[in-house]
Amino acid sequence: MEEVDEFSNNDFEIKQRYLNEEIIEKNYDPSLFTVFCESQKEPNLDLWTLEELKICVEEFKKSIREGRIINKKLEKSDNEEQTFNEESGQVINKNNDFESNIIDCAKLGPSELSTAGGLEILISEPKLIEEGFFSSNFVTYTVKTMPFEWEVTREFSDFVWLREVTVNNFPGIFIPPLPNMKTRGNLDEKTLYKRQKCLYKFMQGLISHPLILRNEHLRIFLKQSNTQDFKDYIKSAKCEKIDEISNFPSLEGKIVGNLQDYSEQVYNLGEYYEKSAKIIKKLKAKAYEMVEDIKEGNDDILKLGEIAQKLEEIQNAFVFTERYGQIYKSLTAKLIQVSEIQMKKIEMVNDHLGIFFKYLSMQRTSLKKFIEHNEGYNIVYRKALIKQSESIDKLRIFFAYYNSQNIKETNRMNEYVTRQSYRNFYEFSVKHAQLANDLQNVWKSFLDSVEVAKPN
Torsion of CA 383, 388, 394, 396, to 10 degrees: 60
- Residues above pLDDT 90, as percent of the chain: 46
- Cβ atoms of 249 and 325 within 8 Å: the answer is no
Q: How confident is the model at residue 89 (pLDDT cuts 50, 70, 90)?
A: very low
CATH number at residue 178: 3.30.1520.10
Whole-number Å distance between alpha carbons of 112 and 420: 25
| Residue 307 and residue 415 in one domain | yes
| Residue 438 and residue 350 in one domain | yes
| Residue 321 and residue 434 in one domain | yes
| Residue 239 and residue 318 in one domain | no
User: Collapsing DSSP states into helix, strand and coil, what is residue 136?
Assistant: coil
Please say which residue of 252, 279, 309 terminates a domain: 252
**Those residues with Cβ within 8 angstroms of residue 139's Cβ, 6 or more apart along the chain or in another chain:** 126, 127, 128, 129, 155, 156, 187, 192
Q: How confident is the model at residue 15 (pLDDT cuts 50, 70, 90)?
A: confident
The pLDDT value given to residue 76: 37
Residue 69 has pLDDT above 70, yes or no: no
Task: Let me know if residue 94 belongs to a domain.
Answer: no
Q: In this predicted model, what pLDDT tens digit does every residue of 358-415 receive, in sequence order?
A: 999 999 999 999 998 988 888 888 888 777 777 888 888 888 899 999 999 999 999 9
Q: What is the mean pLDDT of residues 61-71?
A: 54
Residue 453 has pLDDT above 80, yes or no: no
pTM for the predicted model, two decimal places: 0.76
Q: How confident is the model at residue 91 (pLDDT cuts 50, 70, 90)?
A: very low
- Cβ atoms of 327 and 445 within 8 Å: the answer is no
Q: Is the peptide bond before 147 cis (omega within 30 degrees of 0)?
A: yes
Task: Let me know if residue 152 belongs to a domain.
Answer: yes
Residue 79 has pLDDT above 80, yes or no: no
**Distance in angstroms between the alpha carbons of the first and the last residue of the chain:** 112
The pLDDT value given to residue 28: 73
The pLDDT value given to residue 88: 32
The residues with which 122 forms a beta bridge, in sequence order, are: 144
| Residue 378 and residue 414 in one domain | yes
| Residue 183 and residue 57 in one domain | no
Most confident of 2-6, 179-183, 290-294: 290-294
| Residue 292 and residue 237 in one domain | no
With residue 220 as reference, give the H or E element that holds it: helix 216-223
Least confident residue range of 130-139, 204-213, 323-332: 130-139
- Cβ atoms of 399 and 380 within 8 Å: the answer is yes
The pLDDT value given to residue 183: 54
Task: Let me know if residue 374 belongs to a domain.
Answer: yes
Please say which residue of 223, 252, 281 terminates a domain: 252
Task: Let me know if residue 108 belongs to a domain.
Answer: no
| Residue 198 and residue 320 in one domain | no
Most confident of 83-97, 135-149, 373-387: 135-149
Residue 346 has pLDDT above 80, yes or no: yes
Give me the domain span that covers residue 16. 2-65
The pLDDT value given to residue 93: 42
Please say which residue of 219, 252, 285 terminates a domain: 252
| Residue 299 and residue 237 in one domain | no
CATH number at residue 377: 1.20.1270.60
Most confident of 35-39, 86-90, 274-278, 324-328: 274-278
Q: How confident is the model at residue 34 (pLDDT cuts 50, 70, 90)?
A: confident
Task: Let me know if residue 75 belongs to a domain.
Answer: no
| Residue 219 and residue 285 in one domain | no
Average predicted confidence (pLDDT) for the chain: 83
Task: Let me know if residue 141 belongs to a domain.
Answer: yes
Task: Let me know if residue 310 belongs to a domain.
Answer: yes
- How many domains are there within the chain? 3
| Residue 241 and residue 269 in one domain | no
Task: Let me know if residue 279 belongs to a domain.
Answer: yes
| Residue 288 and residue 244 in one domain | no
Q: In this predicted model, what pLDDT tens digit does every residue of 305-328 receive, in sequence order?
A: 999 888 888 877 776 677 777 888
Q: In this predicted model, what pLDDT tens digit does every residue of 175-203 receive, in sequence order?
A: 999 988 665 556 788 888 889 999 999 99
